Each structure stands twice: as C-alpha cells, then as structure tokens.
C-alpha cells in the first residue's frame, strides 16, 4: 500500500475512535447521537478513499455505492432516533423545546 492510503485509513480510524469517545463522554442522548451521526460517515468516507486507492475500479465502485447509501440513509436514521428520544424522555434539559407544541397539536 502507498503512504497516502495508509494515512487516509489511519485518519479514518482516528475519526471513528473520536466518535466512540464522544459516545462515552457526552452527557445527553442528543449529543451522543450527534457525535455518532456526524463522525461515522466522515470516518467511513476517509477510510474508503484510502482503500479505494488500492482496490482498482471494481472495489472503488463498490465503496462509492456504500458511501452514497450511508450518506443518504444515516441522517434519516439519526433524525428518527432523535425524535424517539425526544418523545420518550422528559424535556427539562432543553432550554427551548420548539417541537413540543407540534407534537401536542399532532396528538389531537
């Protein structure tokens, strides 16, 4: 492997480790989801870029398909997790809860 591929894959691994540290260190569920939802696709994209320099066109095409799928589906999944946590936990930790009025209106 080339030095560039090694560096990109190591950088992607470092970003993934930092996301894991964020999952352990942050206090609220919202901050944890934010750390996982933002860092994991970036880590995958950087690692995939490093791996694609070694795989050729076939491997690069597969990684590109996986990257597109991740970038399209992960924000929706994280948003649904945010909504589930918001609906099931008390909102005393929020300074302003703009979603509460919309949820009350939707129930009736």
Q: How far is 11 from 17, CA to CA, in rounded Å?
A: 10
Percent of the chain with pLDDT over 90: 37
The confidence band for 108, taking pLDDT boundaries of 50, 70 and 90, is: low
- pTM value is 0.75
The encoded tokens of residue 28 equal 């609220």
Residue 93 has a pLDDT of 67
15-51 per-position pLDDT tens digit: 999 999 988 999 888 888 888 888 888 999 999 999 9
Output the CA–CA distances (angstroms, integers) from residue 81 to 51, 54, 66, 70, 71, in the order listed. 30, 36, 21, 16, 16
pLDDT at position 18 is: 92
pLDDT classification of 104: cutoffs 50, 70, 90 = confident
Delimit the domains of the chain by residue range.
3-90
Q: What is the pLDDT of residue 7?
A: 95
């Amino acid at each position: 492997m080339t030095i560039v591929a090694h560096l990109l894959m190591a950088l992607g691994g470092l970003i993934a480790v930092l996301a894991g540290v964020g999952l352990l260190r942050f206090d609220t569920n919202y901050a944890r989801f934010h750390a996982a939802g933002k860092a994991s696709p970036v880590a995958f994209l950087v690692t995939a870029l490093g791996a694609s320099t070694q795989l050729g066109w076939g491997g690069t095409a597969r990684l590109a398909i996986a990257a597109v799928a991740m970038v399209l589906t992960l924000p929706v999944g994280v948003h649904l997790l945010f909504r589930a946590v918001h609906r099931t936990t008390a909102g005393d930790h929020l300074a302003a809860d703009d979603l509460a009025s919309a949820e009350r209106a939707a129930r009736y």
